[in-house]
Homo-oligomer: A and B are copies of this chain.
Amino acid sequence: MTDIPASHPRRASLLARERLVEGVRAGIVSEAGLIAHGRGEAFDYLLGERTTDEAVAACRAAAALLLMARRPVMSVNGNVAALAAERAVALAAAVGGARASRGAAEGAMRLEVNLFHRTEGRVRLVADRLRAAGARDVLGEAPDARVPGLDHARAMCSSQGVGTADVVLIPLEDGDRAEALRRWGRTVIAVDLNPMSRTARAAHVTVVDELTRALPVLARETVALAGEPDGRLRAVKEGFDNAACLRAVLGRMVARVPELDLGPPC
């Protein structure tokens, strides 16, 4: 790892980049995953690299969905594991604890490895990374179900996970899979930096934020709502308008543009 000074204004972004490059070398991240990360970086730059009020509101709506779910599952791909394995595991623990405190029949939010560029070796490495981060129960290595409407490799999923989930959390997901999951009747929560992406638009709730910032906010909101009655959770969910939220975030990005200096930097 390069030494990036603690004071560097873009330290978080540079560290994320290093984690992904390490992830490629470790066999966890695909080359396409690096390109996708770069696209996200551009949108995060426009966002000012900070969590917006809209992202917090989306996390709150997502938290309500996770608490009310019969069976929530979080999908993990190579970029998610490389960037935020610990935070994904911590979120699953927070959601599980909050659900258990409500007396949910199946408390846990399970983690399922799903890769867009699937190889069995990479699935194993991603699962190992999650286990190294503390996950005890990782699905995806023995897929036995299919998401309808996707070609074979991309359709594979676990009957214990996405196959029987009602609510799926899909951070950094491909548009085809996000749309297929929605068509399949899943309630979809996405984390995506591009408010115009097909994934962002296909989801019922889209958190437009950088993953490592978003996951702790989602955990915090889930814990905060854990004691609320179902009626209140439904009201939170029904008060959230995803298209309006996407439009507001995009408006923030656009509004920042005139503030940016376009003159020579030197």
Contacts and interface: CB of A to CB of B under 8 A. Distances in A.
Interface of A: 17, 20-21, 24-25, 31-32, 34-43, 45, 175, 179, 182-183, 194-196, 198, 200-202, 243, 246-247, 250, 253-254, 257, 260-266
A58 B228 CA distance: 59
Q: Which of A25, A32, A183, A198 has the most CB of B within 10 A?
A: A32
A254 B196 CA distance: 13
Taken together, the copies of this chain in the complex come to: 2
A194 B247 CA distance: 22
A243 B265 contact: no
Contacts of A39: 38-39, 41-42, 45
Contacts of A20: 31, 35
Contacts of A32: 17, 21
B250 A42 contact: no
A35 B40 CA distance: 9
Tell me whether chain A's interface is mostly helix, strand or loop, or mixed: helix
Given A31-B31, A250-B262, 15 more contacts: A21-B32, A21-B35, A34-B34, A35-B35, A35-B41, A38-B41, A40-B42, A41-B42, A42-B43, A179-B266, A182-B264, A196-B260, A243-B263, A247-B262, A253-B257
Contacts of A257: 196, 250, 253-254
Contacts of A246: 262
A175 B38 contact: no
A38 B31 contact: no
A253 B42 CA distance: 13
A152 B24 CA distance: 27
A57 to B, nearest CB: 16
A45 to B, nearest CB: 8
A32 B196 CA distance: 25
Contact of A183 (B38, B195, B266): B266
A37 B41 CA distance: 11
A265 B263 CA distance: 38
